[in-house]
Amino acid sequence: MEKVLGIVYRVISTHLIQSAGFTRGSAHTGAVTLIQRFGSALNLNVHFHMLFLDGVYVERPDGRLRFRWVKAPTSAELTGLADKIARRVGRYLERQGLIERDAENSWLAGEDVDEDPMSSVMGHSITYRIAVGPNAGRKVMTLQTLPADDPPFGEEAGKVGGFSLHAGVSARADQRDKLERLCRYISRPAVSEKRLSLTSNGLVRYQLKTPYRDGTTHVFFEPLDFLARLAALVPKPRVNLTRFHGIFAPNSKLRSQVTPAKRGRGRQRPGVESAEKTPAEKHAAMTWAKRLKRVFDMDVQTCDACGGAVKIVAAIEDPVAIKKILDHLEEQGAMPQAYHRPAVRGPPWQQKLPQLHS
């Protein structure tokens, strides 16, 4: 996966540099990739969401950087880039012995050297088939509630040999809210609990966010097969799904010049007289409380009772003192919600849900 991602980044970055009229030695690009392993139907579908700079940085004689904007690629350019990526990835996979090809076709290598159970689970997840149970190997049950629809005109741009390249979303430097929404979208989890439910006969029902062209709006799983689907989406241990490229890479000497917090290898260590951070650096470095509110919508700086600001009075780390304080608060009845126990409810399958008719 890392080699394939490197191929994709090099093809796109070379296109940006050449479109700006520079060479790879005189201009620098940058991108942040979030590797997603899931499709809309909880199937294993590894793909890359890449936040690319829409231009290049050029180093001035005084060492400072200047940004040169590059216009968005045309449909023909997208198709050409997708074709170049498909050919280079195909050659790499062939050298690795993962695919075989002749003059007209290519296919997966016949022998699977890795015979562990997870390979079978992931293979069934990729092909939309049931992995375990008496119905193993069959297609996953779907529900079509909408009429089939033809693809819109021009949607085939950027699609070559099973590879697709999309570049239809952009955000200007001043559109921070739009950029944040885009980052939230590409970093979303695999499962949406709002679209997950149980049917009256015990099947797991998952509603697609966007219906398929054939009208499919829901997929159904046996409970055991649903667990197998989730297992296929879990990455291997110590695999980082967020990657930084080019000028944003951790080892880039130019990273400190293009990031608001000025972090990176090229950062100049401030002396004693300039140890105070600038307002821009203070704004870029968020506190842990702000991060909790931004990510989980948990405001720990506001009092639930009066709505006023909460401030740290003391930091107590002694376990004996902590126990005495908590015991005293519990005796005084000041901790009615201390344990945050959820409300009692019946099993999920007892809830009244619409029945599935064949």
pLDDT in tens, 147-195: 877 666 556 668 888 888 998 889 988 898 999 899 988 988 899 889 9
Q: Is the pLDDT of residue 16 over 90?
A: yes
- Produce one character per residue of 179-211: b if its CB has 16 or more CB atoms within 10 Å, e if not: eeebeeebeeeeeeeeeebbeeeebbbbebeeb
Last residue of a domain, one of 216, 246, 276: 246
pTM across the whole model: 0.74
Residue with tokens 């948990």: 298
The amino acid occupying position 1 is M
Q: Is the pLDDT of residue 112 over 70?
A: no
Residue 259 within any structural domain of the chain: no
Number of domains within the chain? 2
Domain shared by 27 and 146, yes or no: yes
Residue 173 within any structural domain of the chain: yes
Domain shared by 328 and 211, yes or no: no
Domain shared by 106 and 227, yes or no: yes
Distance separating alpha carbons of residues 23 and 28, to the nearest angstrom: 9
Residue 353 within any structural domain of the chain: no
Angle 40-45-47 (CA atoms, 0-180°, nearest 5)?
105
Residue 344 within any structural domain of the chain: no
Residues with Cβ < 8 Å from 149, sequence gap 6 or more? Answer: 213, 215
Residue 339 within any structural domain of the chain: no
Residue 270 within any structural domain of the chain: no
**Which pLDDT score, from 0 to 100, does residue 285 have?**
65
Model confidence over 57-111: pLDDT tens digits? Answer: 998 888 889 999 999 898 899 999 999 999 999 889 888 887 777 656 655 555 5
**Which pLDDT score, from 0 to 100, does residue 358 have?**
45
Residue 296 within any structural domain of the chain: yes
Domain shared by 92 and 159, yes or no: yes
Q: Is the pLDDT of residue 284 over 70?
A: no
Domain shared by 204 and 320, yes or no: no
Domain shared by 232 and 294, yes or no: no
Domain shared by 231 and 306, yes or no: no
Band (127; pLDDT cuts 50, 70, 90): confident
Domain shared by 87 and 26, yes or no: yes
Band (273; pLDDT cuts 50, 70, 90): very low
By residue range, what is the domain housing residue 237? 2-246
Domain shared by 71 and 135, yes or no: yes
- What's the token pair of residue 152? 């819109």
